[in-house]
Amino acid sequence: IYSVCIRCAPRQFNGKMLSRFMSGSIRNLDREYSCTVRLLDDTEYTCTIQRDAKGQYLFDLICHHLNLLEKDYFGIRYVDPDKQRHWLEFTKSISKQMKSQPPFTMCLRVKFYPPDPAALKEEITRYLIFLQIKRDLYHGRLLCKTSDAAMLAAYILQAEIGDYDPGKHPEGYSSKFQFFPKHSERLERRIADIHKTELIGQTPETSERNFLQKAQMLETYGVDPHPCKDVSGNPAFLAFTPFGFVVLQGNKRVHFLKW
């Protein structure tokens, strides 16, 4: 339409009008920005949203993308320029919460751990909780005894590759998977032994459910630990859990205040 107007009435469509149209387009671009959210399976969801959009709008977009109905357990987390982690507040503008310049990068994470994750109604919810706890195990947040760690890792192995097959799984096959920040060869062998002998025939869904049932019994389930020191100067962790407030030393709970 504009090109026709320019040919027909060039004197009317002067430089000021062109400048006004161009500046309006720039202003529209300024009111939008790109946002990437890393999901729990390490894929990414990228969208363009208005500068005044609130956190709830972005969260609803992600839940629609995942077909996630049981939303209340999840939140969006971001890291500020000082490397501090924050939960995105859904009632406030996203751009006002972020201290960096767009495009923004955030993560979908479990914010509230269900007391009994295996009993969740929706399969997608259980799967996302499974991915979060698997992540907690890998990053050293889900602390546990060696025997429990071996069982949890074996469930992950069964869920991801199915039954042990000597033709497909040569010696040391479990070493290709990273279940923990670090582990010994002895633990690796124990994981493989459980997978080979105790989990034959379990479907991925059953293994994931068994993993959840095992994890929820651990004292560090649902813990987001914050480092501190006790009165003697010994390192410890403070954490909120689905069941109460805890103080941890190593992988042991030394204090527990129930909600």
In whole angstroms, what is the distance from residue 255 CA to residue 82 CA? 31
Dig out the tokens for 28 from the structure.
Answer: 């529209």
22-56 pLDDT, tens digit each:
444 444 446 889 999 999 999 999 999 998 999 99
Please check the confidence at residue 84 and state whether its pLDDT lies above 90: no
- Please determine, looking at this structure, whether the domain spanning 32-110 carries the CATH number 3.10.20.90: yes
The rounded distance, in Å, linking the Cα atoms of 113 and 135 is 13
**What is the CATH code for 123-217?**
1.20.80.10
pLDDT tens string 93-142:
998 998 888 899 999 999 999 989 988 989 999 999 999 999 999 998 88
pTM for this prediction: 0.81
Q: Where are the domains of the chain?
A: 32-110, 123-217, 226-258
Report the pLDDT value the prediction gives residue 9, as an integer from 0 to 100.
44
**Distance of alpha carbon 256 from alpha carbon 259, whole angstroms:** 10
Average pLDDT (87-94) is 95
Q: CA 40 to CA 59: how far, in whole Å?
A: 14
| Residue 238: predicted pLDDT | 82
Pair of tokens at residue 177: 């998977």
